[in-house]
Chains A and B, each alone.
Chain A
Amino acid sequence: MSYDKLVPSPSPETQPYWDGLNENRLRLQCCGECGKVRHYPRPMCDACWSMKTDWVDAAGVGTVHSWTITHYAFHPGFKGDLPYILLTVDLPEGVRMNAQARGIEASALRMGLPVKVVFDRVKDDLTLPVFEAA
């Protein structure tokens, strides 16, 4: 069956993030001058305004900051996933990311819950991050 969910349209600035996921690596953009990590990828560092960019490999772990459990499919492609948990997670690199949770019970959700990133190859050229309990 063909993949029927929303897909990203990467730009030259964001492509390394998606390439990293396809290699099972969580890569975060950082400033090529002052080193500040930023997410999501963008052209300029808001701390020193440098446009030099670099990429670092994230530890791939984090703790739950907040969440929602979705019971309604706002896009038909997600109907089969209902209900699904979307986690907002604090990464030790100083940024947050969100992704669906896998194998975590709704009753176990709490702020500070440790999670780890795993990689879900959903189609040929697309890998999405997923959180599992750490």
Chain B
Amino acid sequence: MKTTNGMTRRGVLKSAAAAVGGAAIGSGAITGFPTIWAQNIKNITLRQMGTGVSNLNDVAEKCKQDTGITLQMTALDSDAVTQRAITQPNSYDIADIEYWICKKVYPRNVLQPMDTKKLKYFDQIVPIFTTGKLTPESHIAQGTAPHTVGFVEGQSSTKFAKAPTEWFTLVPTIYNADTLGIRPDLVGRPITSWKDLADPAFKGKASILNIPSIGIMDAAMCSEALGLATYGDKGNMTRAEIDKTMAVMTDLKKQGQFRAFWKSFDESVNLMVSGEVVIQSMWSPAVAAVRSKGIACTYQPLKEGYRSWGGGLGLARHLKGIERDAAYEYINWYLSGWVGAYLNRQGYYSAVLSTAKAHMEPYEWAFWMEGKPAEKDIMSPQGKLMEKAGTVRDGGSFYDRMGHVACWNSVMDQDKYMVSKWNEFIAA
């Protein structure tokens, strides 16, 4: 019953999309002739919704060119994505979600795992996403580390597997290591630790982000560095740990340490550009945006390590037949290098390094991935100047940055409690 319902709804959506997009040839062919899939993949439309790579129209255009598959992208914020993934599972074919969202969404049986044998580049995926260890020596960071929600026990299972299996939940697309952004010209001393966020020297000139699930991590990194709190797992705090962290932050707030709390990307850029704030939580494109205005801004590596995040593509549970084949085709294309190079050039990281490298100039690879001084000016994928020749990437190489992750963005068991405490902190 459910499937029929879903199919009809899909049919309606499809014909609507076809009427608008002019992809009418495809919709007729889908139902009748399962044997000639290969040709028909070219006419398939996949509906992708999500947070990260779903914002990149360039990817959809290139995908159409290379594979013939039409991608309909819908970009939403993480709360809306979570809600839609769970409550309207037939409204999308591919979910582009972060790993901590996966932890919330996957157990609801709205996604299906991918068969690793059908993923052409599975063996080359960065091991963070499979074994959890970037190099055999690395130790596993706290929080919702991607590999902990990367596999399920079987095709119909919704239970995360402890060790890699054949069934992969999300194919990683984009990830990065976040830290504090600073105005090197205004802080007046070297910044080395998360505790510098609470330094009285920066009273009224510090900021953290007001998105509870991420803000709490930055707050915990800071409290721990100050020696005022200790944690079993910063990504899954106990009530007592949450109370302690919020008490430290509330004290700081009452002392006037914070100038503002930011909620959106542009707010964080403006706070930094105007000099209202000299040290704050930041995202790497925001640092690039500040620099592009000619203002010095450093994405400062800190001794306690980075707070990392990552996202990937998952298949909707309702996908089958030719559409599922098209989805595999799209994902294999995704990992084949062009997108990887595109993401790496924006300062993010891609899942399969070898293919991305083949699509990048050696000097670009050396700058972004090896932490070497830029031989030439570094351009963004849109051809805008990002870094002048001679600069070195903040934090250095891929292994220096991703090898020093202290904690992954996560969802806690005490999520609701944490959010209510966070609201108290904002109202305090």
Partners in one complex: no
Binding site for B on A (CB under 8 A): none
Binding site for A on B (CB under 8 A): none
